[in-house]
Structure 1
Amino acid sequence: MNGLSGNTWFTVAGIGLSETLLLSIALTGLFALLAYVLGRSLSASPGRLQVVAEAALTLMTEAVAEVVPPAAVPRVLPFIATLWLFILAANLLGLVPGLSAPTRDLSVTAALAVLVFLAVHVYGVRAAGWRRYLRHYLQPSPILLPFHLISELTRTLALAVRLFGNMMSLEMAALLVLLVAGFLVPVPLLLLHVIEALVQAYIFGMLALIYIGGALEAASTSESPSPKEPAT
């Protein structure tokens, strides 16, 4: 994989289907199937899969509740949880022989960053309305509007490049170590990959959560009227 478009596995009607695209679609379908199965098999006496799913959901709910207001948790949690799970699974695909992690492809990380960019503004507009939400870009002075816009673009770019760079460098480092030391050190490399996959998924999701929390805070700030001066 070249890190930009991936290796083409199939060609349909002249359109190349890359490894990255097919793996991303497969992950999406797998999570949809798991959600359907778990939703249909919920029980008061849960099995192992339900216990693991409930424990993971509890951890993610607590993490989201630490950043956004309690009323916004049910709205924000599905998006952030999906990001965490998808990125973690995509990162771990690099451990499968013959496969590469979709997140070492810049097109995937850029798409995820654009989703975060759009979600931030969707949540902000839903919280306060588009007029009040957009008004916070003019605070504390309209002169700062260009800087606010540049900040929105640069942090989106940083999200995409950070995840892409970390996963690309991790797989390249693992390949170099295997070439130099052979297969004498597979277990430490596997552990390093698993830890890095967890860390990168957590960081990406937390940054997205912080950006959404900032949009909700800006919306609430712009929504509240300015205090009146006391009468003399």
Structure 2
Amino acid sequence: MEALSVVFSIGPFAITRTVVTTWGILLVLGFGCWLATRRLSVEQPGMMQSALEGVVQAIDSAIATVLAERSTLLLPFVGTLWIFVAVANLIGLIPGLHAPTGDLSTTMALATLVFLSVHWYGIRSAGLRAYLRHYLSPSPVLLPFHILGEFSRTLALAVRLFGNIMSLEMAALLVLLVAGLLVPVPVLMLHVIEALVQAYIFGMLVLIYIAGGMQSQAEQTSTHSNKEGNKP
């Protein structure tokens, strides 16, 4: 595939077009954030600041619908992930570029970050002992199934985003090849909408996984504390 073609190598590591595109997105987002936030004003916010505040408030509201009491804690990670996936999905609209999320290696890397973040927030919420105790509940026999569920959920998250974006780009390419330039605007609009929807779904799944982990650990801690308190 063209997206997997090697651009250059760093020692034994082959740098593909997907990696270069991902680096470019990170640089653009980083520079854009620095440029947009270097002159913030409370009294007279500009158009750019107002737009950014609207985006942050929208993401914070979405997080609050799932886990209101932890929205401030989750906003940096979930918000950054949301914005990156949305931009990565849309980058395929630029001629000559392919969406990094249409490459399984990228989506697997994102899913791995989610996998680690679920455990990090779970441990941070209830402590290491309570977190590990969750995998032994209600019976230690279920430990292998809990572990298998964690890995299968991570794999499903990666494959789902990869499959949707790859099929989206292929469908748009086929329509343009068949219809030529007769229907470019509707196809592009559908591409934009679907790319944003997939980014939203990915972010909500991440948020639900993290919130579920944090809540389950809190429930385990509460149950254990109640049992300890009821002992004579």
After TM superposition, the structure 1 stretch with the greater mean CA deviation from structure 2, 31-40 or 41-50, is 31-40
Map 1:1-232; keep pairs closer than 5 Å. Answer: 1=1, 6-12=4-10, 15-44=13-42, 45-70=44-69, 72-224=70-222, 225-227=225-227
Give me the whole-angstrom Cα distance separating, in 1, the residues matched to 2:193 and 2:20: 25
Contact residue 37 and residue 49 of structure 2 kept, 8 A? no
> Alpha-carbon deviation of 1:37?
2.3
Q: Which runs of 5+ in 1 are unaligned?
A: none
The alignment's TM-score, normalised by the length of structure 1, stands at 0.92
TM, length-normalised to structure 2: 0.92
Residues 159-213 of structure 1: CA deviation (Å, up to 9, x unaligned): 0000000010011111111111111110111011101110110011100000000
User: Secondary structure, in 3 states, of the residue corresponding to 1:66?
Assistant: helix
**1:16 Cα offset (Å):** 3.2
SS in 2 for 1:16: strand
**d(CA) in 2 for partners of 1:141 and 1:11?**
49
Q: Give the conservation status (yes or no) of the 8 Å contact 1:68–1:216.
A: no
CA distance in 1, matches of 2:72, 2:98: 34
Distance 2:11 2:148 in 1: 40
Cα offsets for 1:32-59 (capped at 9, x unmatched): 2222223321112111111110001001
Cα deviation for residue 13 of structure 1 reads 5.0
Distance change (3 Å), C-alpha of 1:81 and 1:16: same
For 1:60-86, what per-residue CA distance to the aligned partner results, in whole angstroms no more than 9, with x for missing partners?
00111111241x222211110011100
Q: Give the Å deviation of 1:2.
A: 5.5
Instruction: Give the distance between the partners of 1:69 and 1:217, measured in 2 at CA.
Output: 12
User: Shift of residue 113 of structure 1?
Assistant: 0.3
Q: For the structure 1 residues 15 and 156, does the alpha-carbon distance in structure 2 shift closer, same or farther, using more than 3 Å as the test?
A: closer
Q: Which has the higher contact order (CA 8 A, sep 6+)?
A: 1
- Cα RMSD of the aligned pairs, angstroms, is 1.8
Q: Against the structure 1 CA distance between its residues 151 and 12, is the aligned structure 2 distance closer, same or farther, given a 3 Å change threshold?
A: closer
- Aligned counterparts of 1:145 and 1:115: Cα–Cα separation in 2: 22
Tell me by how many angstroms 1:226 deviates: 2.9
Structure 2 segments unaligned to the other structure (5+ residues): none
Inter-partner Cα distance in structure 1 for 2:152 and 2:130: 23
Q: Distance in 2 between matches of 1:136 and 1:59?
A: 33
Q: Which runs of 4+ in 1 moved over 6 A?
A: none
Q: Which amino acid aligns with 1:41?
A: R
